[in-house]
Amino acid sequence: MTLVVVPVRYPLTSHSRATLTEAIRVAEDREADLTVLHVNLYQDNDGVTRTELKRAVEREFGEVPRSRYVVRRGFLVEETILEEVAAEEADVVVIGSKQAGRWRRTLRRFLDDPDIESFLREKLDCTVITVRAD
């Protein structure tokens, strides 16, 4: 079974809504399962629950077939997303262009000229789709 993973912010931003729109479309086109992922940072005291995330998405998009909602805790959003994508053996990751930019900055600390899409494809063997909110 094909799996699409889409990391989002909570509350949903315009970028998260655009990314979700594309992820839902991709999941439907590929008859795939969809994992909607949010990362609560350890350093932030407040955090969203899985139920709150699901309700927010369903308010925006209605019930999303074959979807599950996952909330993880981590120190770095990007690292936590990568761990989830690897653990779930995702086939497709749909990220917003803002998220891709943050991943590039994070990877620049370790690599000279990171191309996030190539890095993810090589390390995780999955398709990466980057979505612009405009």
The residue that leads in pLDDT, 81 or 2, is 2
% of the chain exceeding 90 in pLDDT: 57
Sign of CA dihedral 12, 9, 7, 106: positive
Candidate from 13-17, 66-70, 99-103 with smallest mean pLDDT: 99-103
CATH 3.40.50.620 corresponds to the domain 1-129: yes
Q: How far apart are CA 28 and CA 43, in angstroms?
A: 36
Q: What is the pLDDT of residue 64?
A: 98
Is the whole-model pTM more than 0.85? yes
Q: What is the pLDDT of residue 102?
A: 58
Average the pLDDT over 12-25 and give the result: 96
Q: What is the pLDDT of residue 79?
A: 81
